[in-house]
Amino acid sequence: MLTKGAVEDLIMQHLSRRAAGEAAPVHRKVPELGKKVFLSDFELKKKFIPGAGSISVPANAIISPLALDWIDFNGIRVVRDQ
């Protein structure tokens, strides 16, 4: 009978797709994701200039749902950088 630990080891071994004893793969940074990817409402409020009417965010940014609500409520236009 397999124990919980043995099942976890088998799953991790299968998911990592590496042979036993090998080192884990090194994750490299993606150059185009150098800017902040996830923006919360707090970060957007800090970045927003009152009376501007628009806010500039990186092209690959993910805006949190709460931030989207804040943007919609205040009628702010989101401009994505190129």
pLDDT in tens, 23-68: 665 555 545 445 668 999 998 998 888 888 999 988 888 999 999 9
What was the pLDDT predicted at 30?
46
- Taking only Cα atoms into account, the Rg of the chain, rounded to an integer number of angstroms, comes to 21
Q: How many domains is the chain built from?
A: 1
Average pLDDT over residues 10-29: 63
Q: How many C-beta atoms lie closer than 10 Å to residue 55's C-beta?
A: 19
In three-state secondary structure terms, 39 is strand
Evaluate whether 34 touches 57 at the Cβ level (below 8 Å).
Answer: no
- How confident is the model at residue 63, as a pLDDT? 93
Instruction: Tell me the residue range of the domain where 30 lies.
Output: 4-80
